[in-house]
Amino acid sequence: MALAPNALCFGDGLPGAGVPCAVMLDGESLRVSPMGPSSLVDQIVAFADMAVEAGGLDHDQLVVSWGTASSARTLYVKDPALIVAFRRAAPPELTAHLERAANQVRRARHNHRLLWGTVLGVLTGLGLLFWFGTDLMVEWAVARIPIEWEQKLGETVYQDFLSKETVLKEGPAVRAVQEMTQRLTEKIPNNPYKFQISVVQSPVVNAFALPGGYVVVFTGLMAKAESGEEVAGVLSHELNHVLQRHGMERMVKMLGLSAVVGILLGDQQGLTGLARQVGMELVTLKFGRAQETEADVTGIRLLSDARIAPDGMIRFFERLSEKDKERVEVFSTHPMSAARAALLKAELAALPKRTPEPFTFQWKTIQESLGASEPKT
């Protein structure tokens, strides 16, 4: 029967890579049959004549050595079945040493696993900390930015933006927006911001808020809205982006750690410089989903506090989502989902019922005034 090699034999005069051998247990001894072209003969090594230990790269091989000087031979056995059989057959005094080594290997392997487990655990922990920690860190850093800096920052970008646009200085539309803002801001407790609202002539259906309380409403939005309450809803949403300092949070996130460090070191100059760099990006700043939801919820509360019919906000959102194909920019970053509408409705149901007070203006008149001042396209 041709035997498959299951061990390697090393020694003087043998190849460096070892000679493949077939090793078998044979009573009180091992029969070692060298394979291959060499002229080596079978050897029978008695248990009494050999020394055993664990060896190899992972200490998982049985090393059997015998002989002295030039006839010294070392056998490396990897086959687990043979190792088990050997440990059963060999006398305890021979294997006692081996058992100790085996225990050591087991312990080393256990420690090895433990170490890797710890390393992986620590890495996972760091990963989680980084994932969830950044938001907390950003909030923490933003809370340390004085409102005045934020205003300075917002104002720079606000003026830059307005200088390129046609701003409506007066007229029914401006007065209407001022009335809405007035009613909303009155109801903000401890309001640190002095809100500035501009109405900009543009067909874009949008409104945005800059850090520091600078809000821009486009006439396109007012033309699309069916009532003043709808515009007030969007306005309330935008005001709450400012109040929750979402713009700053996004900016700190965008600019990264360097800005955070700058803020901590009180480097206002650097911050303003960076803000100029990102300039217009701030205008088109995309808020995160969580921020949008927060602005929605706090926005509808503010509407209710200001006694402006809050369902206008929901209706406007719903209408826009129906016409989503038109890419209404105000919500293009986060298209209105049924879940978002449902959330607002639930929030509205939880709010105390208040009798809404209508605005002093007639929405039709406002829209007609816009239509008159806006060139038809």
Residues that bind other proteins (CB under 8 A): 4-8, 10-12, 15-18, 20-21, 35-36, 55-59, 61, 65, 72, 74, 76, 78, 112, 115-116, 119
Task: Choose between 21 and 174: whose C-beta lies nearer to other proteins.
Answer: 21
**Which H or E run contains 26?**
strand 19-26
Measured from the CB atom, the residue of 4 and 81 that comes closer to other proteins is 4
User: Could you tell me the sign of the dihedral formed by the alpha carbons of 248, 250, 255, 261, in that order?
Assistant: positive
What would the two tokens of residue 300 be? 């509808």
Closest to other proteins by CB, 120 vs 204, is 120
Cβ closest to other proteins, residue 18 vs residue 171? 18
Structure tokens at 75: 């056998």
Name the residue nearer to other proteins (CB basis): 14 or 278: 14
- For 122, other C-beta atoms within 10 Å of its C-beta total 10
CB-nearer residue toward other proteins: 108 or 264: 108
Distance CA 232, CA 185 (A): 11
Supply the minimum distance, in Å, between the C-beta of residue 126 and other proteins.
Answer: 17
Shortest Å, Cβ 29 to other proteins? 21
- Shortest spacing between CB 14 and other proteins, in angstroms: 9
Q: Please, which residues have CB within 8 angstroms of residue 317's CB and are 6 or more apart in sequence?
A: 233, 331, 336, 340, 341, 344
Q: With contact defined as beta carbons under 8 Å apart, do 209 and 241 qualify?
A: yes
Give min distance, CB of 116 to other proteins, in A. Answer: 7
- Shortest distance, position 95 Cβ to other proteins, whole Å: 20
Residues with Cβ within 8 Å of 93's Cβ and at least 6 positions away in sequence, in order, are none
Nearest CA-CA partner of 209 in 193, 192, 227? 193
Closest distance to other proteins from the beta carbon of 105 (Å):
12
> Which two structure tokens, joined as six digits, stand for 186?
């009155």
3-state helix, strand, coil in the chain (%, to 5): 55, 15, 30
Report d(CA 30, CA 81) in Å as an integer: 14
In single-letter form, the type of residue at position 224 comes to: K
**Identity of the residue, 76 or 361, whose beta carbon is nearer to other proteins in the bound complex:** 76
Q: How far is the CB of 76 from other proteins (least distance, A)?
A: 5
Q: How far is the CB of 56 from other proteins (least distance, A)?
A: 5
| Dihedral sign from CA coordinates of 226, 230, 232, 238 | negative
Q: State the nearest-atom distance from the C-beta of 15 to other proteins, in Å.
A: 7
d(CA 53, CA 136): 56
6 or 191, CB closer to other proteins?
6
| Per-residue buried b or exposed e for 82-121, using 16+ beta carbons within 10 Å of the residue's own CB | bbeebbebbeeebbeebeebbeebeeeeeeeeeeeeeeee
Quick one: which of 273, 147, 156, 142 has its CA closest to 212? 147
Would you say 23 or 215 has its CB closer to other proteins?
23
